[in-house]
């Protein structure tokens, strides 16, 4: 038995401390051959258009690295390397350094030349790039000389780069201080959106969205980051994802006055415009709903799409639409708040005709994908909310008088569409 001091400051004489040498040996050397064999097999079968194989290959490569690393190396990666990379990338984004690196006349540039171009101390730039090179994010071509990678080039896209200053300045303090908040509150899952871990970390009584908007540029950076979050992800309206014709268009009211689709909290209309582009001949009206401040940000929008000011906590003004749609709305809110949103919808739906389409993550019982689990932690620390499991969705929607007809899922479960109807009879 050991009386070694636990990191939280408490002595734990009842816990047997493992042999310290375990931290210096590979985590799972015996599995390395299996991972290599799988990687070789997948690499042979992969193609540029086969996203499923690419994702499986990437996961196999991550498993290989984890097997080869020692626990000490993994700890150093978590505690030193990854936080330092976040710091370096964020600073370089703020400096505009990657744009200079990518737009330079030569393939590679010295850190001193880059520093002069952005007006920074050359020693600072050299140290930042040295670590980013060690992490594989820029290419070291000589002594204090660097060239961009495709990742570096992507950081010149505002939507991609926005996540770094946004998370560094507007979110991650709640992650870093989460253990403090949990200890103070008795390790109970956060549920208050106005006095949760985010408010504790940032010393505010504002909701996270209000806090970001009140502290520029974080509100604008959040909007950019959300655009990147959706980039390249499968779209629910594609035939290989959800059968729009069979489930929505067939059997829809053909009247020009009937509402076909309502996008609730649809921002400036990206999803609705994509839907209209892919399904230009749908019958009836298309309605985009959001707060007035959001709708006023719209610069261009197809004339078929109606703009309607609406707060989704209030009564739904559109009754009997063929479909009501919400994209990444409910994960921002606690179950209590979600019930208020959903009750307004269920009261507006026509039995046997209207559908609710919820475009969100659905965490599987096993083998959840890392993007989804990471987002779940961010939602807990930032919003006191969650990504939900299938069972949690069934409970939440069922309590709102709704029943799940089907859950349509692609790409490792990071995109799902929950198809719902009013729970009256066997309507699905």
Q: Which two tokens stand for residue 370?
A: 């890392």
279 is a catalytic site residue? no
Closest by Cα among 342, 295, 346 to 321: 346
Q: How far apart are CA 278 and CA 287, in angstroms?
A: 16
Cβ-based burial of 118 (10 A; exposed 0-12, middle 13-18, buried ≥19):
middle
Q: Which two tokens stand for residue 17?
A: 């401390």
Determine which one of 35, 211, 310, 331 is catalytic: 331
Are 386 and 379 in contact by the 8 Å Cβ rule? The answer is yes
Question: 11: which DSSP letter?
Answer: B
Residues 6+ apart with CB under 8 A from 220: none
- Beta bridge mates, 402: 422
Q: Which two tokens stand for residue 84?
A: 């330092």
Rg over CA atoms, the chain: 25
* Length of the chain as a residue count: 428
Q: Is the dihedral of CA 113, 114, 116, 122 positive or negative?
A: negative
Query: How many Å separate Cα 249 from the centre of its chain?
Result: 30
Phi, psi values for residue 243, rounded to 5°: -75, 85
Half-sphere exposure of 77 (CA within 13 A, CB side): 10
Phi, psi values for residue 326, rounded to 5°: -135, 125
**Enzyme catalytic residues:** 331
């Amino acid at each position: 038995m050991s009386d070694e001091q636990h990191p939280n400051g408490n002595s734990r004489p009842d816990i047997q401390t493992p042999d310290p040498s375990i931290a210096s040996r590979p985590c799972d050397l015996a599995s390395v051959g299996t991972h290599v064999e799988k990687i070789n097999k997948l690499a042979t079968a992969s193609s540029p258009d086969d996203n499923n194989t690419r994702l499986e290959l990437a996961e196999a490569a991550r498993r290989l690295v984890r097997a080869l690393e020692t626990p000490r190396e993994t700890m150093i990666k978590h505690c030193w390397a990854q936080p330092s990379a976040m710091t370096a990338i964020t600073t370089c984004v703020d400096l505009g350094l990657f744009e200079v690196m990518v737009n330079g006349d030569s393939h590679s540039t010295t850190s001193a030349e880059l520093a002069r171009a952005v007006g920074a101390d050359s020693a600072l730039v050299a140290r930042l790039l040295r670590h980013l090179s060690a992490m594989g994010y820029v290419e070291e071509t000589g002594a204090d000389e660097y060239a961009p990678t495709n990742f570096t080039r992507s950081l010149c896209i505002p939507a991609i780069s926005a996540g770094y200053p946004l998370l560094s300045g507007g979110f991650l303090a709640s992650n870093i201080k989460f253990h403090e908040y949990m200890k103070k509150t008795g390790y109970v899952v956060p549920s208050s959106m106005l006095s949760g871990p985010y408010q504790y970390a940032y010393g505010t009584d504002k909701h996270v969205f209000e806090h970001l908007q009140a502290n520029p540029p974080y509100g604008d950076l959040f909007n950019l980051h959300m655009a990147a979050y959706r980039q390249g992800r499968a779209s629910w309206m594609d035939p290989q994802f959800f059968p729009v014709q069979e489930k929505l268009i067939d059997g829809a009211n053909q009247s020009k006055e009937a509402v076909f689709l309502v996008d609730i909290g649809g921002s400036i209309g990206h999803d609705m415009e994509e839907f209209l582009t892919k399904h230009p001949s749908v019958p009836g009206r298309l309605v985009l709903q959001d707060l007035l401040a959001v709708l006023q940000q719209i610069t261009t929008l197809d004339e078929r799409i109606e703009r309607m000011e609406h707060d989704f906590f209030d009564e739904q003004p559109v009754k009997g639409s063929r479909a009501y749609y919400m994209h990444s709305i409910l994960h921002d809110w606690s179950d209590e708040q979600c019930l208020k949103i959903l009750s307004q919808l269920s009261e507006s739906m026509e039995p046997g005709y209207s559908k609710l389409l919820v475009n969100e993550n659905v965490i599987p019982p096993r083998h959840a994908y890392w993007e989804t689990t990471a987002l779940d932690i961010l939602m807990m620390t930032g919003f006191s909310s969650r990504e939900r499991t299938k069972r949690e969705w069934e409970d939440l929607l069922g309590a709102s008088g709704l029943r799940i007809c089907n859950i349509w899922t692609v790409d490792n479960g990071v995109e799902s569409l929950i198809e719902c109807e009013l729970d009256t009879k066997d309507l699905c």
